[in-house]
Amino acid sequence: MRYKLFCSPKTLAAALLLVTGCVAPSKQVPAQQIPSLKDAFKNDFLIGTALNVAHIQERDQKAAVLIPKQFNAATPENIMKAEHIHPEWGRYDFDMPDKLVEYGKKNNISINAHTLIWHSQMPAFARRMQSVDSFRTFFNEHIKTVAGRYKGKVQSWDVVNEALNEDGTMRRSPFLQKLGPDFVTEAFRLAAAADPQAQLYYNDYNNEQPAKRAGCIALIKKVQDAGVKIDGVGIQGHWHVGRVPFQHIEESIEQYAALGIKVAFTELDIEVLPRNFQGADVNQRMQDNPGLNPYKDGLPDSVQQQLAKDYQQLFELFLKHKDKISRVTFWGVTDGDSWLNGWPVRGRTNYPLLFDRNYEPKPAFYKVVATKRK
């Protein structure tokens, strides 16, 4: 019988959810009958989520229950980015990052620290620097101090974030302009010295696309050829419903793994709203108009089912290559937490994740769990 294969027989509602990914709004599955993502994939790869300050402080009881049940890895959304953790020359703010580490310890959640070097969300004082020597001192001390503070306390670091253009060339960031193209290698060298136990990743978006992937491979090889530790590459995975580039993703997993490193999907979400460009450059924006926010009152079933299909196909691909993948992290806990509600247009209603705004599993959630039952 189909129900016996896919679900607990306790309730017909639960059975229908697991088989079809659908349920009437009034037929919520009891919380104790909802499967756990981290348990489903415990022998495959870590399942992570992005945490904001409210999550870390456990202000919302529903989130406080949901997160430890579903996830065994976490990445901070903003609190470890340089403008927050290092707001002034010689002054660091470790309050929330320390709380994140304690949260992870309390809930048996591995922490991926994000991020040491990124051209965006830099401290204002560093952006204003004209002296190359002063900027290099900032670069060196920031990595040594921040990575050193969490030595042995985090599982991994996104050491360098988004250093490439779409064509695979180096982005003309303040780091490239002042320190030259070897800044990536030096960042990994410093991070490895500050925290030898941490896994060290290069992280980017669209680096599953052929041109950017080629640049990313060249960058990784450059670090390796210098004899510097690099453990993995993060593919952010900001994709669009109905247009997930499955072939490019599979090619990327295979080509990155051939370098002897692990692949992580670090910021996964599948956008359902219209947009006139690809990627995840936070500096890009679109002018608001009503047509760009079509689902204010709820997601049409056809889109919901396409979203579920995309997530199912993604996780089938991830499982096919589970020996090469270290972690799959969703960029947010619920749809209501997603950064895509405010970017590239503020105030939109987006639905890119596996849990809805009421902390309930969506059809996509059950399709993902069902990939382990095939």
Give which of 83, 82, 94 is closest to 143, Cα–Cα.
82
Query: Which residues sit opposite 355 in a β-bridge?
Result: 361
Sign of CA dihedral 108, 160, 233, 286: positive
Burial 216-229 (b: 16+ CB within 10 A, else e): bbebbeebbeeebb
DSSP 228-277: ----EEEE--EEETT---HHHHHHHHHHHHTTT-EEEEEEEEEE-S--SS
Q: Which of 186, 208, 267, 271 is catalytic?
A: 267
Q: How many CB atoms lie within 10 A of CB 291?
A: 7
Sign of CA dihedral 226, 232, 237, 243: positive
**162 an active-site residue?**
yes
Sign of CA dihedral 321, 325, 327, 333: negative
**58 an active-site residue?**
no
> Which secondary structure element, helix H or strand E, spans residue 203, and what is its range?
strand 199-204
Q: Which of 162, 186, 208, 271 is catalytic?
A: 162
Cα-based angle 336, 341, 344 (whole degrees, multiple of 5): 160
Give which of 65, 109, 12 is closest to 359, Cα–Cα.
65
Cα separation of 12 and 10, whole Å?
Answer: 7
Which sequence positions are flagged as catalytic?
162, 267
